[in-house]
Amino acid sequence: GAVVSQHPSRVICKSGTSVKIECRSLDFQATTMFWYRQFPKQSLMLMATSNEGSKATYEQGVEKDKFLINHASLTLSTLTVTSAHPEDSSFYICSARGTDHYNEQFFGPGTRLTVL
């Protein structure tokens, strides 16, 4: 299968600061990337979908001004949590799909965000 990486794997920040998380497709071109959030003992919830070169589509209830998504190239998407608060502490997972692998979705290893 294809490989998706995320950086950083863990981040701790102070309340009010911004944090950027990177998602990269290492060996394929990702036409679409997805950002999920997973709270403890809950299922993955899709936050937004981004297509390379266009604006992200956010799910209902997700603030687009708070969670900035950029998908500037076919191998990189970034999620910036702006003015983070403790309630933003969660596990953020990205996934990517391209045309090379029958459109299958591949997941990154996740980023644990802790806001103090």
Partner 1 sequence: KQEVTQIPAALSVPEGENLVLNCSFTDSAIYNLQWFRQDPGKGLTSLLLIQSSQREQTSGRLNASLDKSSGRSTLYIAASQPGDSATYLCAVRPRSGGYQKVTFGIGTKLQVIP
- Please give the residue ranges that form the binding site for partner 1 (CB under 8 A): 1, 4, 6, 32, 34, 41-44, 46, 49, 57, 59, 91, 93, 95, 97, 104-110, 112
What is the nearest approach in angstroms of partner 1 to the Cβ of residue 96? 10
> Smallest Cα–Cα separation from 3: which of 112, 111, 116, 108?
108
> Smallest Cα–Cα separation from 94: which of 25, 11, 19?
25
Q: Among residues 6 and 77, whose Cβ is nearest to partner 1?
A: 6
Cβ atoms of residues 3 and 104 within 8 Å = no
100: amino acid identity, one letter? D
What is the nearest approach in angstroms of partner 1 to the Cβ of residue 24? 13
Q: Among residues 11 and 44, whose Cβ is nearest to partner 1?
A: 44
